[in-house]
Amino acid sequence: MFALVVGVVASLQLKPELRKDLELPITREQPTPFPIIIEEENMLDKVVTAVFGYVVSGGDTTPEGLLDTPRKFVFKIKKDSGIFVNVTYTAYPPSPVGDREMGKIRLNFHTGTIRVGDYLITHGVYDKKTDMVVVAQEGDYIETYFERP
């Protein structure tokens, strides 16, 4: 069993006003303030950054048939500016390595999973070569909300 359960997001493409009955908050934490670019790691290749916007598509990209293996998730986000960016993270099954890797990042999903239409706030490393924000380093996080906080 994985530490994180993610369902099929494509089947839940509902307008926010129709999803009110699906909202199941699982945390009482206060929302993280709107993030900004925090620091630059390497101006040519990677930048530590934060992204916020609505989830448009995405989900588990791990090939079928693999059991008890790390699961890679990729989500396409439409930022408030209208620009699209991909966000990725890896969920590990319970194990010494998995526990260590999952302990580095914070995942806080208001319904327990990331769904199309959720408002997502994330902090990670933007890789210009792959045009993707990678959530994997100590202190990185992904948070979702029913609507923009």
Q: How far apart are CA 8 and CA 116, in angstroms?
A: 9
Domain segments of the chain: what residues?
39-62+69-145
Q: Which helix (H) or strand (E) holds 99?
A: helix 96-104
Q: How far apart are CA 118 and CA 145, in angstroms?
A: 6
**Is this structure's pTM higher than 0.95?**
no
Give the pLDDT of the chain (149 residues) as one tens digit per residue.
333 333 333 333 444 444 444 444 444 445 555 444 444 444 556 788 889 999 999 999 988 887 778 999 999 999 989 999 999 999 888 888 888 888 889 999 999 999 999 999 999 999 888 889 999 999 999 999 999 98
Q: How far apart are CA 141 and CA 122, in angstroms?
A: 5
Three-class DSSP category at 124: strand
CB-count exposure of residue 58 (10 Å: 0-12, 13-18, 19+)? buried
Q: Which helix (H) or strand (E) holds 55?
A: strand 46-60
Backbone phi, psi, residue 3, to 5°: -70, -15
In the CATH hierarchy, which top-level class contains the domain 39-62+69-145?
A: mainly beta
